[in-house]
A and B are shown apart, each in its own frame.
Chain A
């Protein structure tokens, strides 16, 4: 791999996800060292930087289940030249979206009041807590998304393929065996 004069800046975040896609990203193993020759990380769970600055690539794991998710997504879109939806939840809502056929009120009632074994439960209302959205949404329903890597999670090889294609200036392609929705 040719080492460029200037490293590309990459930001990553997990919204309504389980961090499984980030774990799969780390599964590129020693290729992470090759990647670090080419990129540097901005906001990411790997750096603990809290806000995203101007970046070449933004990688979003997870869909949108609360107001904070939407703010973070918009911050990424405003700062990243290329935005990538990573994994099933970012692509189509995934597991969190399985609540979408229920009313939010009924879910909160069930979880905090009605469930067996709860005594004097109350629905958390601390102003610091982001408000849940009525429905969980995939990220392309709110911002323009440039590339999608489906999978729950996408394999390390799929993530590596897309990143190396992009870094080499190629249009990323996932063939049979790398494209998976499960």
Chain B
């Protein structure tokens, strides 16, 4: 193989260059093409659990955050079929927790909400679980609202791999999976957690919230109120994403019908 030749794959008809070892989503982000995702954050090792970044690579579905790009690969992402599946995944996340957006400090800058807007999620579709998940407000500076947890494990990865504190963990299996705090009491106050930690700043939804700063920016003026997530640089600041370049091939925005 010619060593000087730039390796590329095709994403929704657009040629995406990549360097060896890059995953599909990394190369797409670098090229300014948005692939919807929740548990992926370019600063962390991929987890591959939310499946929202699923694409079809050479005809087979795969998580674009874990799948390494290959030269000449044909990848589909922004198609009716895949977006329908992404929307169903989002709907399941919404009904499994308690996502009452009007009272959430994260509303408007929440990646779950913004991704659901992007996918045109007009209804939860499924029956709600309405689980009982008490808050942990024990820590003096931060509170944990488990109602909104989507099990992305970013706080787990940040606390373990960056902060070296191992404050959070996912416990249980399947539908019993839930976020726990690694303390004998199970309370955040009884850990070494601090606002300086990386883990305090990676939650894509409204679980880990700083106290006494609520609603400093009014609902309606927050980041994804200003522009859709597909046109927003990554909220954590790494790998800026430009406006999506495949707008011409977009299927029409999903309708307000029961989808």
- A residues near B, CB below 8 A? 85, 88, 91-95, 97-98, 100-101, 135, 137-138, 140-141, 144-150, 152, 162, 171-177, 179-182
Contact = CB atoms under 8 A, between A and B. Distances in A.
Given A145-B258, A173-B256, A91 B228 contact: no
A130 to B, nearest CB: 21
A171 B100 contact: no
B124 A88 contact: no
B128 A148 contact: no
Given A94-B100, A174-B120, 5 more contacts: A97-B128, A100-B130, A135-B130, A182-B108, A182-B113
B2 interface: no
A92 B94 contact: yes
Contacts of A174: 120, 122, 253, 256
Interface in B225-259: 225, 227-228, 252-258
Contacts of B258: 140, 144-148
Closest 9 CB pairs of A and B: A181-B101, A152-B102, A101-B132, A100-B130, A148-B123, A182-B107, A148-B122, A182-B101, A172-B256
Interface residues of B, number: 36
A60 B107 CA distance: 24
**Which secondary structure characterizes the binding site on chain B?**
loop
A138 B108 contact: no
Contact of A182 (B102, B122, B127, B255): B102
A181 B123 CA distance: 10
Contacts of A140: 123-125, 258
A172 B255 contact: yes
B104 interface: yes
Nearest to B95: A92
Given A148-B256, A162-B256, A176-B117, A95 B100 contact: yes
